[in-house]
Structure 1
Amino acid sequence: MPKHRAPRYVRTKKVIAKAPVAAGATVVGLGVLSTPAASASTGHDWTGVAECMSSGDWDINTGNGQYGGLQFKQSTWSGYGGTEFAPRADLATPAQQVEVAERVLEGQGAGAWVGCGRHLTEGTTPAAAGSAAATPAPAPAAEQAAPAAAPAEQGSAEEYTVRWGDTVKKIAAAHEQSWRELYERNTGVIGSNPHLIRPGQLLVVNGSAPAAAPAESTAAAGDSAPAAAVAPIAAAAPQVASATAVITNTAGPIHAAVQAAANTVVSNVPGAGDITLGGTRASAVDPDGHPSGKALDYMVMSDNALGDAIAQYHVDHWDELGVEYVIWEQRILTSPDGAWKAMADRGGVTANHFDHVHVNYVG
């Protein structure tokens, strides 16, 4: 696979270093942990997810910031109580990793494991059966979140409390409006990324918008939730190109099919049209990529929620977009039905694809 160095069009930009997004996603608030999680011995068989994420290696630590068989990001592992078992996921038993995964599943859904959650099945996890998961201590009283308040009257406004599994599109449809209308009414609560809504948030579905935004409404860089878990907006939106992607080319024009694919992406993934798209550039080690006009770099910089959304959109619409492979956060996917594979450390944020999603198209 070709090496990547910082593309010419971003070498002068300030790259904000960030921790990689893990399968487990953003901690959506301790309130989602107030209900005891399912134990490792009941509920689901995580074998397929582990095979997809790490080739079934429950002790893996490649140095890419994601650990264990289910590739937990450290902030996710800590936020969902994993440090009560072990400092990192790769140091925990398979049963303990599964127990934390069940908590993440409850809070974020199977889409938290981008491209791999579809392999989750009902049953038990054989690898976890022989390694007991110690029961974590109850959370301190100060950390126990109060149940979400019932929708409150606010003048003529009708409010809705976000629950697990909700999306902006789903809530909007239930209240007979477009997702854009709902999002624009609630930007103060949701923040700048319509992909991120969290259980317990109050959205105004009719009437006036909220007067102020909660302090936690905007996700911190590096801790964003995977798009598939919270934002099927991109996947569910009509697959039409209503916008033209602006692509930076320095070595000739981009392939027409790639331009068309980019137009579709920026038209259907909120935020994708506001970032730099790198197209053709000279490269002696990547003749079938950027020089050929068949590759794009979606420069999300520190917005890894957007990166997840763009990557997942390509997985969901692989054939429609003519995708050959996707590289994101030091992992590569060569088939929509395959597993993300870890890549060697190339030494930097850009070289390891932590600030951009690289897509090679068939062209």
Structure 2
Amino acid sequence: MSSPLAKRSVGTSASVLLALLSVLGPTGRSAAADFGPSAPPGVDWESIAACESNGRWHTNTGNGYHGGLQIAPATWRAYGGKRYAPRADLASREQQIAVGERIAQDRGLTQWPVCGRRGAPSAKSPQATSTGGNTGNTTGKSTAGTTAPRSPSAPRTHHRRPTTPGATTDHTYVVQPGDCLSTIAQRTAVPGGTQALYDLNKPTLDEGPDHIYPGQRLRLHA
């Protein structure tokens, strides 16, 4: 699909065309980098919600996804949403965004493969918005076009441990009050994130990923 920037070329000379392509190239790379597995700060959740649900934070159309960010019940529970409400559409806008932030920290914006691009910081950068014109985007923002997939970002180098003495070892973690799987996975830097932590502990978490209790000992490695 041709770039909106290329469609609006103001001249026919080769020098002008090369200049336009030189601007377009870095923009495409920036969009791919921002959309990767590690979400950057400054995600525009309003733009994602506008794309996913027309900005209706309490919508439930019966399609299996709920709320402004269209979060499935299993994902909502796995990332601590049940502390707010049984489903995303029953929680406030701020609570849905809080769960969205936890999902983005664990998975990047891949949870929203199309609409996530509209909420990535690059969608609001001067490079992405300087082309102007109507590209058919109902939010009024221009898109960066189709980009090639990139390799996953480098693994986190930090390894934070709970402050409770004896709560964790190199291979296990004891659940503390207020914990949810996503926070445990992030705190202990489990390879594979929340889903991998749940898969390792299905026999212990036999009630589902949203039912964890203080005192349970979870495995951190296979």
Q: TM-score category by the smaller chain? A: 0.3 to 0.5
- Calculate the TM-score normalised by the size of structure 1: 0.25
- Calculate the TM-score normalised by the size of structure 2: 0.40
Larger RCO, structures 1/2 (Cα 8 Å, 6+ apart):
2
